[in-house]
């Protein structure tokens, strides 16, 4: 049976099918084996993906935590070659066959996130034909075979999987039900792109599938997330999120034949009690749970008056709820073996620029005033130490999430003297400097403290003025480009206000009296406001 | 995203292609300090002595009497201006040129120019300064010191090479910044012979000038001017303590009455002064004259036997007889 790929009929058909499978077997009675692979690289004619391996890690974590897959039965392959994938699959098949011989019921799950093109999965420079993989899954010695493929072609403005227009990638193109116990999920229909998003730091499909598996898809409230629940959840969210994208709406597909075997429970929330509970009194809306690295680990669609619970690894998370004109953000800690409860009163209002999501999403702007002290490594008779005041303009999440494009202008001054090499004494002068720079930095948010590092290029105008009685020309000037590196820490201390401490190391080339190459360091601080 | 990065990189590359440069040079400061400033070769005094080579009194002066305005003062101002103009000729070139960036920079050489000579259309000038050992005082037992040699070269704009003898050249031995001693030679006759106009120098043949502005030494200027008739005037200026100073004139001329004159003019800080003149050789050899003036430049004492004038009181002179 093949479910249509679009519209509400998908969900209805799936639910009907699920109800018809009255002999559902308890998930814990299955021996579950999983092969999870993610490949950011798709070889020639493809652009590297950003989140494919991250998506694979996420699914691996969920399956081993609440998916009933023992750690030794889960194989995670990141950027692996096709032969490595097929070898690992063979090993799992052998293990499944052995389990069947012992009388166990078995389920084999294969998840892949990456590129696909011309009817084949792309793993770096190698490929695995989809037909062959499907046939392999069909014949696998497991009672239930589940394939989840998050892959397709490229799009326009949002990052998509694949690169150019090509024959449709289609995992399941016919509706023949000749593979007993075979289920295949795909992230998009045969003529669609699958899309990644910086906002959620992952692919839409895997992100929503993962959120559903963590518990948000448990609409029945029985503490289990079934395949049909997970798919329906992922379908709705993926279509909704991609409807307005330039690549067009993305419709996940579902193809299965589980006749006689019942619906498959993918995650058993009671397996691991730690997580976060959203009490019924919590305001409705979409909540994002962000880990310490700024990644969205789960998205929860909280309805008014309904309680929600999701499974999370122990750790600290930032909670974000987006309102029309601001964010509500806060921090929760999930401890091992315990379920924490979200306390709305501990959330605070914050501007959009304080978005804790690493994916940063939309570009935001901040400005700041700073001061710095600069010293050259040698050649101080030419370039004395100086202090400067500056203005900075920063575009956050500009090229991509957690990258920052910074424009700065600083005016500084100092005093120095030219020592005479022929004669005695020295000639005093006043040193001035104008620097116009631009930096690209990447950031690693840890709550309110955000370390950053990057590169900087500045255009410098260096000048000095003498007593005209001593040096008739009066002034000298030099202009040059100076590349360098910058590193520092930004601390958000109140609302949009933040303070920055940073160190710049720059290279300088001098070629007037002679060719010289040296560097200088600049220690600075800034107070800024993010809009 | 890619187009954003590409655009930014393109802009950066475009700007980087504009290169870097400027005139930010420590050595330029040193080289430019090797040429004399106007103040180095200007007599700093409230009064300059301007006794002419033609006689015992200034030309056109009337007979003097006690408390008359000092004619010596008036005429010497005019003479002092002439001396400053003489030094100012090449100093003006140096000042104008060194306001620009050098056109040649090597570790031991700076060249400014060429520049059009505004005083002589069709001619151009350039200044070259070389760092090299120099010896200002030929009697210095230590021999040459680290210093600079500079020259103002000239040529017709259509010419391919500079004249063999420069317009002016000099040596400089630096002490502290802008303090040192130097020699300057202006080759007026050679320049005139080459065809480049030298209107300001009339019949002069060569000017030699020495100056010493070293710390711990009195500021001195020595000027040695020769004209085409081989007449020669040597002027020595010394700035004394507390603003006083003196000028010594040693004049060799064709006038048979006084083929050699010696004149010494001294002044105090308040501008009161005294001038003594003696005819060393000529038909009037042995003749001398004295004039003293007060702080208001009025005659306080005058004794001029040639004019038959003696008036005032010698005890009012701020300096005694030599």
pLDDT one-digit tens code per residue, A435-473: 999 999 998 877 678 899 999 999 999 999 999 888 888
The rounded distance, in Å, linking the Cα atoms of B154 and A179 is 101
Burial of B72: CB neighbours in 10 Å, binned 0-12, 13-18, 19+? buried
Burial of B131: CB neighbours in 10 Å, binned 0-12, 13-18, 19+? buried
Average pLDDT of the residues in A225-251: 78
Query: What would the 3-class secondary structure string for A261-304 be?
Result: CCCCEEEEHHHCCCEEEECCCCCCEEEEEECCCCCEEEEEEECC
The rounded distance, in Å, linking the Cα atoms of A82 and A127 is 6
Q: Is the pLDDT of residue B57 over 50?
A: no
* Nearest by CB: A471 against B4, B33, B39: B33
Which pLDDT tens digit goes with each residue over A93-113?
999 999 888 888 888 999 999
Residue B241's pLDDT is 67
Residue B9's pLDDT is 53
Average pLDDT of the residues in A71-90: 92
Output the CA torsion A530→B2→B7→B10 (10° steps).
120
Residue B127's pLDDT is 94
The rounded distance, in Å, linking the Cα atoms of A335 and A298 is 17
Residue A160's pLDDT is 39
Residue contact B15–A470, C-beta within 8 A: no
For residue A142, give the DSSP letter: S
Check if the beta carbon of residue B155 is closer than 8 Å to that of residue B163.
yes
Average pLDDT of the residues in A178-190: 69
Average pLDDT of the residues in B118-122: 89
Q: How many C-beta atoms lie closer than 10 Å to residue B103's C-beta? A: 13
Burial of A176: CB neighbours in 10 Å, binned 0-12, 13-18, 19+? exposed
Residue contact B20–A479, C-beta within 8 A: yes
Q: Is the pLDDT of residue A361 over 90?
A: no
Peptide bond into B114 cis (omega under 30): yes
Which pLDDT tens digit goes with each residue over A401-412?
678 899 999 999
Could you tell me the strand order of the sheet in which A315-322 lies?
Answer: A296-302, A285-290, A315-322, A327-334, A348-350
Residue A134's pLDDT is 84
- Which residues of A202-258 form beta strands (DSSP E)? 202-203, 224-226, 253-257
Check if the beta carbon of residue A49 is closer than 8 Å to that of residue A33.
no
pLDDT: which is higher, A186 or B109: B109
Average pLDDT of the residues in A152-164: 36
- Please report residues of A whose CB lies closer than 8 A to that of B150: none
Residue A165's pLDDT is 31
For residue A47, give the DSSP letter: P
* Lowest pLDDT segment from A59-68, A196-205, B208-217: A196-205
Average pLDDT of the residues in A199-203: 76
At A497, list the tokens.
């206000």
Nearest to A89 by CA among A131, A125, A130, A140: A140
Check if the beta carbon of residue A34 is closer than 8 Å to that of residue A73.
yes
* Lowest pLDDT segment from A254-258, A380-384, A416-420, A474-478: A254-258
- Please report residues of A whose CB lies closer than 8 A to that of B5: 399
- Please report residues of A whose CB lies closer than 8 A to that of B97: none
Residue B98's pLDDT is 85
- Please report residues of A whose CB lies closer than 8 A to that of B107: 513-514
Q: Is the pLDDT of residue A16 over 90?
A: no
How many angstroms from the chain centroid is the CA of residue A427?
A: 57
Distances (CA, A) of A67 to A63, A107, A111, A402: 4, 11, 13, 31
* Lowest pLDDT segment from A102-106, A374-378, B69-73: B69-73
Average pLDDT of the residues in A107-126: 87
Check if the beta carbon of residue A372 is closer than 8 Å to that of residue A522.
yes
Residue B61's pLDDT is 47
Residue A259's pLDDT is 59
Residue A285's pLDDT is 86
- Please report residues of B whose CB lies closer than 8 A to that of A479: 20-22
Residue A90's pLDDT is 94
Check if the beta carbon of residue A137 is closer than 8 Å to that of residue A257.
no
Distances (CA, A) of B111 to B32, B92, B162, B223: 10, 17, 13, 27
Which pLDDT tens digit goes with each residue over A25-78?
344 467 899 999 998 878 776 666 778 888 999 999 999 988 889 999 999 998
The rounded distance, in Å, linking the Cα atoms of A305 and A288 is 19
Q: Is the pLDDT of residue B153 over 90?
A: yes
Check if the beta carbon of residue A144 is closer than 8 Å to that of residue A258.
yes
- Please report residues of A whose CB lies closer than 8 A to that of B42: none
Give me the residues of A, 462-501, that contact B with CB < 8 A: 462-464, 466, 469-474, 476-481
At B179, list the tokens.
């303090």
* Nearest by CB: B24 against A426, A472, A477: A477
Q: Which chain A residue has its CA at the smallest distance from B176's CA? A: A424
Task: Please provide the average confidence, as pLDDT, over all residues in chain A.
Answer: 80
Check if the beta carbon of residue A180 is closer than 8 Å to that of residue A35.
no
Average pLDDT of the residues in A235-257: 74
Distances (CA, A) of A488 to A140, A387, A523, B52: 53, 18, 10, 78
Residue A170's pLDDT is 33
Percentage above 70 pLDDT, chain B: 85
The rounded distance, in Å, linking the Cα atoms of B21 and A481 is 10
Q: Is the pLDDT of residue B53 over 60?
A: no
Residue contact A481–B27, C-beta within 8 A: no
To the nearest whole Å, the CA of B26 is away from the closest chain A CA by 6
Q: Which chain B residue has its CA at the smallest distance from A508's CA? A: B20
To the nearest whole Å, the CA of A435 is away from the closest chain B CA by 14
In the block, residue with structure tokens 């020259």: B151
Q: Is the pLDDT of residue B175 over 50?
A: yes
DSSP H helical ranges for chain B: 2-16, 26-32, 71-97, 188-194
DSSP H helical ranges for B17-138: 26-32, 71-97
Q: Is the pLDDT of residue A178 over 50?
A: no
pLDDT band for A152, please (50, 70, 90 cuts).
low
- Which residues of A63-191 form beta strands (DSSP E)? 69-78, 105-113, 115-117, 120-123, 126-129, 144-150, 182-186
pLDDT band for A416, please (50, 70, 90 cuts).
very high
pLDDT: which is higher, B54 or A340: A340
Percentage above 70 pLDDT, chain A: 82
The rounded distance, in Å, linking the Cα atoms of B199 and B190 is 14
Average pLDDT of the residues in A163-172: 32
Q: Is the pLDDT of residue B91 over 90?
A: no
Q: Which chain A residue has its CA at the smallest distance from B147's CA? A: A422
ipTM of this complex:
0.76
* Lowest pLDDT segment from A203-207, B14-18, B267-271: B14-18
Residue A258's pLDDT is 61
* Nearest by CB: A420 against B20, B39, B177: B177
Q: Is the pLDDT of residue B95 over 60?
A: yes
Residue B1's pLDDT is 37
Residue A352's pLDDT is 67
Give me the residues of B, 85-114, that contact A with CB < 8 A: 95, 98-101, 105, 107
* Lowest pLDDT segment from A7-11, A200-204, B85-89, B312-316: A7-11
Residue A198's pLDDT is 66
Residue A336's pLDDT is 84
Task: Please provide the average confidence, as pLDDT, over all residues in chain B.
Answer: 83
Nearest to B181 by CA among B132, B220, B207: B220
Contacts of B285 (CB under 8 A, 6+ apart): B258, B279
Contacts of A323 (CB under 8 A, 6+ apart): A285
Kindly list the domain boundaries of chain B, sorted by start residue. 28-316
Q: Is the pLDDT of residue B51 over 80?
A: no
């Amino acid at each position: 049976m093949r479910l249509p790929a679009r519209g509400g009929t998908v969900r209805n058909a799936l639910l009907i099918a699920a109800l018809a499978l009255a002999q559902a077997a308890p998930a814990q009675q299955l021996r579950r084996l999983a092969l999870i692979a993610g490949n950011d690289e798709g070889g020639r004619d493809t652009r590297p993906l950003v989140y494919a391996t991250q998506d694979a890690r996420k699914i691996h974590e969920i399956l081993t935590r609440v998916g009933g897959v023992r750690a030794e039965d889960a194989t995670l392959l990141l950027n692996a070659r096709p032969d490595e994938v097929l070898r690992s699959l063979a090993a799992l098949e052998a293990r499944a066959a052995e389990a069947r011989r012992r009388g166990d019921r078995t389920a084999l799950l294969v998840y892949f996130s990456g590129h696909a093109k011309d009817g084949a999965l792309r793993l770096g420079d190698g490929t695995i034909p989809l037909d062959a993989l499907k046939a392999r899954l069909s014949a696998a010695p497991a009672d239930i075979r589940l394939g989840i493929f998050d892959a397709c072609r490229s799009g326009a403005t949002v990052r998509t999987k694949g690169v150019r227009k090509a024959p449709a990638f289609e995992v399941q193109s016919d509706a023949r039900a000749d593979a007993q116990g075979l289920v295949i999920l795909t992230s998009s229909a045969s003529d669609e792109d699958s899309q990644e998003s910086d906002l959620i730091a992952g692919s839409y499909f895997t992100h929503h599938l993962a959120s559903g598996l963590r518990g948000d898809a448990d609409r029945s409230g029985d503490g289990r997330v079934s395949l049909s629940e997970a798919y329906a959840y992922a379908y709705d969210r993926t279509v909704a999120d991609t409807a307005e994208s330039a690549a067009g709406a993305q419709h996940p597909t579902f193809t299965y034949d589980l006749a006689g075997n019942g619906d498959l429970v993918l995650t058993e929330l009671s397996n691991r009690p730690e997580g976060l509970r959203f009490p019924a009194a919590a305001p409705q809306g979409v909540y994002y749970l962000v880990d310490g690295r700024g990644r969205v680990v789960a998205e929860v669609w909280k309805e008014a008056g309904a309680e929600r619970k999701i499974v999370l690894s122990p750790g600290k998370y930032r909670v974000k709820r987006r309102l029309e004109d601001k964010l509500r953000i806060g921090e929760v800690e999930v401890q091992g073996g315990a379920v924490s409860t979200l306390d709305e009163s501990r959330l605070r209002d914050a501007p959009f620029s304080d978005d804790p999501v690493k994916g940063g999403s939309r570009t935001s702007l901040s400005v700041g005033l700073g001061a710095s002290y600069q010293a050259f490594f040698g050649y101080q008779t030419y370039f004395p130490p100086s202090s400067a005041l500056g203005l900075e303009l920063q575009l956050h999440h500009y090229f991509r999430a957690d990258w920052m494009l910074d424009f700065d202008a600083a005016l500084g001054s100092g005093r120095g003297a030219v020592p005479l090499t022929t004669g005695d004494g020295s000639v005093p002068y006043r040193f001035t400097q104008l620097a116009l720079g631009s930096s690209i930095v990447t950031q690693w948010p840890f709550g309110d403290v955000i370390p950053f590092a990057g590169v900087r290029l500045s255009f410098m105008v260096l000048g000095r003025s003498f007593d005209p009685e001593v040096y008739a020309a009066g002034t000298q000037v030099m202009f040059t480009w100076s590349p360098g590196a910058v590193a520092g820490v930004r601390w958000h201390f109140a609302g949009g206000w933040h303070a920055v401490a940073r160190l710049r190391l720059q290279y300088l080339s001098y070629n007037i009296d002679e060719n010289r190459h040296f560097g200088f360091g600049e220690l600075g601080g800034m107070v800024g406001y993010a809009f | 995203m890619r187009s954003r990065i590409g655009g930014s990189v393109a802009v950066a590359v475009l700007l980087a292609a504009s290169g870097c440069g400027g005139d930010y040079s420590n050595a330029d400061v040193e080289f430019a300090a090797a040429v004399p400033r106007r103040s180095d070769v200007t007599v700093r005094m409230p009064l300059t002595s301007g006794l002419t080579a033609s006689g015992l009194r200034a030309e056109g002066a009337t007979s003097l009497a006690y408390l008359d305005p000092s004619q010596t003062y008036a005429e010497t101002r005019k003479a002092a201006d002439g001396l400053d103009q003489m030094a100012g000729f090449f100093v003006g070139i140096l000042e104008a040129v060194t306001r620009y960036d050098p056109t040649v920079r090597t570790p031991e050489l700076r060249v400014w120019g060429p520049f059009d000579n505004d005083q002589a259309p069709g001619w151009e000038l350039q200044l070259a300064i070389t760092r090299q050992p120099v010896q200002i005082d030929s009697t210095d037992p230590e021999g040459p010191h680290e210093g600079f040699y500079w020259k103002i070269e000239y040529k017709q704009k259509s010419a391919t090479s500079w004249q063999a003898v420069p317009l002016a050249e000099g040596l400089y031995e630096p002490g502290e910044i802008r303090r040192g001693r130097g020699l300057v030679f202006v080759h007026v006759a050679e320049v005139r012979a080459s065809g480049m106009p030298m209107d300001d120098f009339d019949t002069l043949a060569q000017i030699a000038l020495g100056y010493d502005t070293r710390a711990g030494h009195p500021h001195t200027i020595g000027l040695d001017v020769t004209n085409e008739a081989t007449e020669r005037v040597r002027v020595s200026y010394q700035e004394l303590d507390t603003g006083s100073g003196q000028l010594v004139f040693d004049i060799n001329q064709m006038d048979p009455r006084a083929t050699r004159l010696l004149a010494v003019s001294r002044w105090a800080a308040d501008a009161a002064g005294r001038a003594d003149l003696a005819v060393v050789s000529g038909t009037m050899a042995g003749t001398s004259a004295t004039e003293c003036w007060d702080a208001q430049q009025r005659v306080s004492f005058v004794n001029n036997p040639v004019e038959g004038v003696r008036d005032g009181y010698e005890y009012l002179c701020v300096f005694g007889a030599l």
